[in-house]
């Protein structure tokens, strides 16, 4: 082996090692950017609630409480402990400011507390990436209800992520009163 062959072999080995190191750094940087900074490996959830007044039956409004969960991420999202509270205000209620636990928002009366869209013994449901999933629960409100509030939450499967909440207040339309109802 000549000196030129030895130098050429060493240079090619050094160049190969440098290119391998650069490729590893680029791959590691890309992985860090995608999975740590952008959290590509986690679900990205948009969670909203809705309330639909179906009609009047005897002395109650029949309502449908709706959860709309959209998975905007790239991975399947699991949902458990998925529940809501349904509260209302009627003409009998004064408008009262709540305490710090509810951030001094208007205090509503509870009609339903901790009702589940997915019963606890079903363990969980899931929403695949790019899917919008609706969950519904049919119940009732007193006929004198003027406003309703839905407060909902679910827990993430991993303990570090905690929980996700959604809350919305609804006016009960006057057109759904007994006199205007076909029910």
Tell whether 82 and 167 lie within a shared domain. yes
Structure tokens belonging to residue 58: 């005897």
pLDDT tens readout for residues 78-129: 888 889 999 999 888 888 887 888 888 888 888 878 899 888 887 778 888 8
Tell whether 4 and 77 lie within a shared domain. no
Residues contacting residue 25 through CB under 8 Å, at least 6 positions apart: none
Tell whether 161 and 100 lie within a shared domain. yes
Tell whether 152 and 71 lie within a shared domain. yes
Tell whether 24 and 85 lie within a shared domain. no
pTM of the predicted model as reported, rounded to 2 decimal places: 0.71
CATH of the domain at 70: 2.60.40.10
pLDDT score at 41: 60
Tell whether 15 and 62 lie within a shared domain. no
Tell whether 81 and 169 lie within a shared domain. yes
pLDDT score at 39: 57
Q: Of 85, 180, 98, 82, give the one whose Cα is nearest residue 141.
A: 85
53 falls in which pLDDT band (50, 70, 90)? very high
Query: Cα 149 to the chain's mean position, in Å?
Result: 17
Q: In this structure, are residues 87 and 142 in contact, taking their beta carbons and an 8 Å threshold?
A: no
Tell whether 58 and 86 lie within a shared domain. yes
Tell whether 128 and 56 lie within a shared domain. yes
Rounded CA gap, 176 and 183, in Å? 10
**Alpha carbon of 94 to those of 5, 58, 118, 178: distances in Å?**
94, 25, 34, 24
Q: Is the pLDDT of residue 5 over 60?
A: no
More confident call, 28 vs 47: 47
Tell whether 95 and 165 lie within a shared domain. yes
Give the domain range for residue 147.
45-180
**Tally of domains in the chain:** 2
Tell whether 120 and 74 lie within a shared domain. yes
Structure tokens belonging to residue 127: 């929403």
Tell whether 88 and 150 lie within a shared domain. yes
Mean pLDDT for the chain overall: 82
26 falls in which pLDDT band (50, 70, 90)? confident
Query: Percent of the chain beyond pLDDT 70?
Result: 82
Lowest mean pLDDT among 28-32, 135-139, 171-175: 28-32
């Amino acid at each position: 082996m000549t000196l030129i062959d030895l130098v050429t072999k060493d240079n090619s080995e050094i160049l190969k090692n440098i290119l391998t190191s650069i490729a590893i750094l680029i791959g590691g940087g890309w992985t860090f950017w995608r999975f740590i900074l952008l959290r590509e490996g986690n679900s990205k959830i948009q969670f909203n609630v809705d309330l639909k007044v179906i009609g009047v039956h005897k002395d109650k409004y029949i309502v449908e409480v709706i959860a709309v969960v959209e998975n905007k991420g790239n991975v399947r999202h699991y949902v458990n402990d998925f529940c809501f509270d349904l509260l209302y205000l009627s003409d009998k209620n004064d408008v009262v400011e709540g305490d710090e636990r509810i951030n001094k928002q208007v205090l509503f009366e509870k009609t339903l507390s901790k009702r589940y869209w997915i019963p606890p013994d079903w363990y969980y449901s899931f929403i695949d990436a790019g899917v919008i999933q609706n969950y519904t629960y049919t119940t009732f409100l007193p006929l004198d209800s003027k406003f309703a509030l839905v407060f909902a939450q679910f827990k993430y499967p991993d303990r570090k992520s905690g929980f996700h909440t959604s809350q919305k207040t609804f006016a009960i339309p006057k057109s759904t009163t007994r006199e205007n109802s076909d029910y």
